[in-house]
Amino acid sequence: MINRYKVRRLLAPTAGLWKPILVLLLGFVTFLVGSALSFRAVILPFMNRLADWAQSVLQFAVSKEDADLSAHLMGGGLLLLGGYILFMGLRMATRKVIDTINPGHSHGIANEYKRRQQLAQGPHIVALGGGTGLSTLLRGLKHHSSNITAIVTVTDDGGSSGQLMRDKGMIPPGDIRNCLVALADAEKSMTDLFQHRFKKDSGSLSGHSMGNLLIAALVDQSHGDFEQAVETASSVLAIRGKVVPSTLEHVGLRALLDNGDEICGETAIVQAGKRIRKIFLEPASVHPHEGALEAIQDADLIVVGPGSVFTSVIPNLLVPGIVEAIKASDAPKVYICNVMTQPGESDSFSASEHVTAVLNNVEMRIFDYIMINTANPSETAIDTYREAGQHFVEPDMDRIRAMGFRVLAGNFMSETDVVRHDPMRVAERLLKLISK
């Protein structure tokens, strides 16, 4: 079977160039025909007069016997010099135009063009989730493709997102903002601006993210069209791919706890700190985003997670039509298990318990692979996280294999000030699934 991803990568440097190349060849042939037709009548007499003038000048410097040879040598030299000057002029003009349109990319034009073409011909990847986990994954994937679609959970009802949702009646923008920044190809100053959060002493702006406010402003400018606002923000940040909500309708979460109690709202569910049996959407009959379904249908790779299993991962899969589209796809489907547990949500969960939680809430079995980190954090990190109520997720791979899943195990961890997935390691391992 032909690997369409590998074919696209092979043809990447010339993709999009065939039409201009054909036009160039047509123009060149037309020029040659025109030159041939007018050569004897116009060009040849002019060139003869020019050659006679050059030889008459040379006769003052060299003997008549050497004039012909000198003319040939001078002609060759002028031909090379003229070609070099023409090349340098075109190069300077091209750099000037590119630097005017896109500052900072005028040098290394060929490499930049090749990089962008390869990204444009990269695999079609769909990543579903929310929170920090999804944005971390996207930071690695964007180095391999610009055909990425992030399908984002929109059930956040806390912080700046929740406030804007209540005040303006818009979809919570926080997780979408994080994904936009993760995929951004814009200058760091622009992404820093989007992520800036106002301090507590900022009055009515306290706690708000600048990016959330900008998206809210774009929603106003687009007359309430949230989708158009996200597209505009995507253009501002020059993102590699696109970000879409799993649904454009207002939706919340309802949790059934192990003790039989029910809690509504994402923030309240997490704060309750009780073991969750099942999670539901409120209302349940929302419509999926059409762009999300189309992206899943065209995907070469589908990735779910990492992220909070009950509030970031499962909610996307509860939107009617999403799971069915994933199930129908021929693309490899991977669930990325968390490195650390989530307080009040997945306390003491092992890797297999994360998978079981998804299976208990989703009616269909949709994963081919489960990605599990097997590297242990440092004792200092474990102690720090234990104080916050978080624990290392036990990589019980044998149980997951017994459940019928293939395991992608390895060191996928990045340990700096926080313990989380290393986006580059995760992305490289995922890409191996479709580059065989």
Q: What is the pTM of this model?
A: 0.82
For the segment 192-239, what is each residue's pLDDT rounded down to a tens digit?
A: 899 999 998 888 898 899 999 999 999 999 999 999 999 999 999 999
Per-residue pLDDT of the chain (436 residues; tens, 9 = 90+): 456 655 555 555 555 666 777 887 888 888 877 777 776 676 667 777 777 776 676 666 665 666 666 666 777 787 888 889 988 888 888 777 777 666 665 556 667 777 777 888 899 999 999 989 999 999 999 999 999 999 999 999 999 999 999 999 999 999 999 999 999 987 788 888 999 999 988 888 988 999 999 999 999 999 999 999 999 999 999 999 999 999 999 999 999 998 999 999 999 998 888 889 999 999 999 999 999 999 999 999 999 999 999 999 999 999 999 999 999 999 999 999 999 998 888 988 999 999 999 999 998 899 999 999 999 999 999 999 999 889 999 999 999 999 999 999 999 998 777 899 999 999 999 999 998 6
Range(s) of the chain covered by CATH 3.40.50.10680: 116-435
| Secondary structure of the chain in HEC code, one letter for each residue | CCCHHHHHHHCHHHCCCHHHHHHHHHHHHHHHHHHHHHHHHHHHHHHHHHHHHHHHHHCCCCCHHHHHHHHHHHHHHHHHHHHHHHHHHHHHHHHHHHHHHCCCCCCCHHHHHHHHHHHHCCCCEEEEECHHHHHHHHHHHCCCCCCEEEEECCCCCCHHHHHHHHHHCCCCCHHHHHHHHHCCCCCHHHHHHHHCECCCCCHHHCCCEHHHHHHHHHHHHCCCCHHHHHHHHHHHHCCCCEEEECCCCCCEEEEEECCCCEEECHHHHHHHCCCEEEEEEECCCCCCCHHHHHHHHHCCEEEECCCCHHHHHHHHHHCCCHHHHHHHCCCCEEEECCCECCCCCCCCCCHHHHHHHHHHHCCCCCCCEEEEECCCCCHHHHHHHHHCCCCECCCCHHHHHHCCCEEEEECCEEECCCEEECHHHHHHHHHHCCCC
CATH number of 116-435: 3.40.50.10680
